[in-house]
Homo-oligomer: A and B are copies of this chain.
Amino acid sequence: MKEFQLIEQFFKNKGQKRRDVMLGIGDDCALVQPAEGKVIAISCDTLVEGVHFFADMPAHALGYKSLAVNLSDLAAMGAEPAWMTLALSLPDVNQQWLADFSSGLFEAAEYYGVALVGGDTTRGPRCINVTINGQVPKGKALKRSGAKIGDWVFVTGSLGDSALGLDMLRNKQVIKPEHKEYLLNRHYYPTPRVLAGQALRGLASSAIDLSDGLVSDLSHILKASNVGAVIDANAIPLSSSLTESVGAEQALAYALTGGEDYELLFTVPEAQRGAIDTALLHAGVKFVKIGQICSGNKIKFTLDGQPFTPEFKGFEHF
């Protein structure tokens, strides 16, 4: 199967259509019409076999996740998803694998309204790069740099599930049958908080998506905003699947350093705190206050009201 046929069969004229795509796959470039009064948000993420995913990861999940992790970056800016390109390197042409991958990719694309406008398919070690374009009203993007002393720190969803799902796949943790599907889905099918991100425009002072773990990603906000934070470890949202599987202490470790949650971490000034409930009501996502921005440049933790220093692998890096 030649590249042209492969694109024709699995990627061209599939998935979400958008009126602002004036020319899609099949020319030297795609042409898209940006909306008036908006700026373009651009991000890209690469997934490499053996580094970011195992060779036996189901192709449907891989297709879905390749887009979801990029959508999560748009969510963290408060941007509306628009267009993507896909660079796909494959060691061979496996039609079933391609059908499944394409199906997972377009499932996410249709749900979030993204059009695939171009790409490149090449022979090579299995590797997927999605470059995503979103749009956000001028001056309304959520950045990492806006957190101020006194702002409240929030997160969406629950943390640590994806990392435990990964350890389950690696046979590093034995999980009860009733929790397996939930944890696997949290790892394979993360939910980018796209609507929540848009709802936070004008309310949140800063935002980031949790790809590397709470400690690491909160540190990015603190560095960019030149502030510190006090985090109440008791307030960090943990699923029952996580705590029942590994106990409270290890659950906290997963939540703080596990990574790949793709939840949003954001800060809100006191004056906007009341408006958050209403704004996020329609986004259909739980969120919870876990701390407050303070002076300094470090993260301090409390547990049961007492200062607390998490001690586990990974923490010393930050």
Contact = CB atoms under 8 A, between A and B. Distances in A.
Interface in A122-138: 122-125, 127, 129, 131, 133-134, 136, 138
Given A123-B51, A127-B127, A131-B85, A40 B31 contact: yes
Contact of A23 (B30, B119, B143): B143
A11 interface: no
Nearest to A32: B40
Contact of A124 (B43, B127, B138, B209): B127
Contacts of A41: 29-31
Nearest to A31: B39
Interface residues of A, number: 56
Interface centre among A26, A30, A124 (most CB of B within 10 A): A124
B87 A117 contact: no
Interface of A: 22-23, 26-34, 36, 39-46, 48, 50-52, 73-74, 76-77, 79, 83, 85, 87, 89, 117-120, 122-125, 127, 129, 131, 133-134, 136, 138, 141, 143-145, 207-209, 224
Given A27-B144, A131-B85, A141-B23, A122 B48 contact: yes
B208 A42 contact: no
Given A33-B138, A224-B26, A42 B89 contact: no
